[in-house]
Amino acid sequence: MQLQLPVPSPDALAASRRLRLLIADDIRRQGGWIPFSRYMELLLYAPDLGYYSGGAAKLGKDGDFTTAPEITPLFGAAIARVVATMMQETGPRLMEFGAGTGKLAFDILTECAALGVAVERYDIIDLSGELRARQQETLRAFPQVRWLERMPDAFSGVAVGNEVLDAMPVSLVVKTEHGWLERGVLLAEAAGAEDFQFAFGDRPSAWDIAASIPDADGLPAGYVTEIHPVAEGFMRSLSAMLARGAESGQGGQGAAAILIDYGFPAAEYYHPQRAQGTLMCHYRHHSHPDAFYLPGLQDVTAHVNFSSMATAAAEAGADVLGYASHAAFLLDAGIGEALLRTSPDDKLRYLPQANAVQRLISPAEMGELFKVLVVGKGTGLPPNFHRNDRSHRL
C-alpha cells in the first residue's frame, strides 16, 4: 500500500528506523512471530522510541489527532460539574489517567475553583515523558497536582480517563474455516539485516478466542476483529482500586471512574458487517489502516468494547453506574449552560464556542461514536443522568 502522507523529518525517520529494527529483533528472539498485541505494545511504548514514550508532539494542530479537551475548555467545564457533585460522596480527590497536554486537568481545576469546590489532590498517571513535561508546564499554577508512577492500591474520589482505553494494545483475531486464529507479526526478510518487511501471520491461540466474542460461531470465515485483554486487565485493576478505596472510607464513602472513548457495546462491536475490525492509525491528522507504516511516528488504536470493560469492572468488585453517548452525557453535565455563560449576542466569542460544542455532541462527529462509561462503588451519578442511561445495552 502506497500512502500519500506528510513526510517526517530526518530525525523522526531515524527514530522510526531504530524502532523498526528493535521490533524485528524481538520477532527473531521469539522464534519469528509475535502476537499483534506485542507489536502494538512496542509501537506505542518501547522506551524512548514508542509513539507515547518518544518525544514527538501527539496532540493539537502540530500532532496527529485532536481530543475533546483540545477542542474547547467547555468539555472540561462539563466534566468538572459532574465530579464536583460526585465528590460530595467520594471526597475531594481526583485522578486522571493519560492526561495528554494537561488541558483537561487545567479546565477541570479551573471550573472547580469557579464553582467554589475545593480539590484537595489531583493525581496524574501518564506513561508519556513528553506529555508529562507539557502537563507540568500547563498545571504549574495548581500545587495540588502530583504525578504518580503507578496506580495506588486504594483510591476514594473520582478518576477520569479520556481516550485512555483505546491507547492500550489489542489482540487481533481472525476466523477461518477451521476456527479462530490469533493474528501476529512476522518478518518477510531478504538479504540484508535491514532489508525486511513486517507481515501478518496467523497461528492457533492458547486461549479460547471464541469465548470473548458474542455469537462467534455465527460470524463468517475471514472475519477479522480485536479483543481487549490489556484494557480488561486495566479495568480490573482500576475497579479493585476503587472498591478498596470505598471500603476503606479514605475521606469519603465512595469512589468512581469516568471513562470516555470511542467504541460500542459487544453486540455492535462484533456485528457481522464489521468484518475487518476497527484497527486504525493516525498520522498528522490523516487516518489510514496500515499498522506497519512508520513505526513510532503514528498512533495505532482500536475502538473499545464497552461490554467487556463493564464485565471486567464487575468482576473486580465495582458497579456500572452509567453508560451513555458522549452527547447525552455532556448535555446532562451542563455543557449547554456553560456555553451560555458567553452571550449569543457576542458573536465573535460565542460562535467559535458553539461550533466546538456542536462538534462534541453532533451524531455526525463525536456525539454518538464516543461513549461514557462510569463505574464505581459506594456512590452514583446525579439523578438527571439516569434518563439517558444505556447500561442495559452492555
Whether residue 2 is predicted with pLDDT greater than 60 in this model: the reply is no
Whether residue 42 is predicted with pLDDT greater than 90 in this model: the reply is yes
Residue whose C-alpha cell is 470473548: 212
Instruction: Specify the 3-state DSSP secondary structure of 121.
Output: strand
- Provide the grid cell at 257: 471512574
Mean pLDDT for all residues in the chain: 92
Given pLDDT bands bounded at 50, 70 and 90, which one contains residue 54?
A: confident
Average pLDDT over residues 78-95: 95
Given pLDDT bands bounded at 50, 70 and 90, which one contains residue 56?
A: low
- Strand 255-264 to 158-162 pairing: parallel
3-state helix, strand, coil in the chain (%, to 5): 40, 25, 40
Residue 58: its pLDDT value, please? Answer: 47
Answer yes or no: are the C-beta atoms of 35 and 171 closer than 8 Å.
yes
- Nearest CA among 27, 31, 373, 389 for reference residue 193: 27
- Nearest CA among 137, 302, 148 for reference residue 225: 302
State the number of CA atoms in the 13 A half-sphere of 78 facing the CB.
Answer: 28
Higher-pLDDT residue of 195 and 338 is 338
Answer yes or no: are the C-beta atoms of 138 and 196 closer than 8 Å.
no
Query: What residues contact residue 174 under an 8 Å CB cut-off, 6+ apart?
Result: 180, 181, 183, 202, 222, 223, 224
For residue 186, is it left (φ>0), alpha (ψ between -120 and 50) or beta?
Answer: beta
Answer yes or no: are the C-beta atoms of 263 and 337 closer than 8 Å.
no
Average pLDDT over residues 117-135: 89
Residue 249: its pLDDT value, please? Answer: 60
Q: In 134-156, which positions are buried (b, 16+ CB within 10 angstroms) versus exposed (e)?
A: bbeebbeebeebeeeeebeebbb
**Weakest-pLDDT range from 10-19, 126-135, 299-308:** 126-135
Residue 199: how many other CB atoms lie within 10 Å: 12
Residue 195: its pLDDT value, please? Answer: 75
Tens digits of per-residue pLDDT, 249-280? 655 579 999 999 999 999 999 999 999 999 99
Across-strand partners of 267?
none
Answer yes or no: are the C-beta atoms of 61 and 319 closer than 8 Å.
no
Whether residue 240 is predicted with pLDDT greater than 90 in this model: the reply is yes
Residue 20: its pLDDT value, please? Answer: 96
Tens digits of per-residue pLDDT, 174-207? 999 999 999 999 998 765 556 799 999 999 998 8
Given pLDDT bands bounded at 50, 70 and 90, which one contains residue 3?
A: low
Q: Where are the alpha helices (DSSP H) in the chain?
A: 10-29, 36-45, 68-71, 73-90, 103-115, 129-138, 229-248, 266-269, 306-315, 326-333, 335-339, 347-361
Task: Supply the DSSP string of 371-393, one letter for each residue.
Answer: EEEEEEES----GGGGGG--GGG
Q: Could you give the domains of the chain?
A: 45-169+228-393 (3.40.50.12710), 171-225 (no CATH)
Given pLDDT bands bounded at 50, 70 and 90, which one contains residue 60?
A: very low
Kindly report whether the global pTM for this prediction surpasses the value 0.85: yes
Tens digits of per-residue pLDDT, 363-373? 999 999 999 99
- Provide the grid cell at 309: 470493560
Whether residue 80 is predicted with pLDDT greater than 60 in this model: the reply is yes
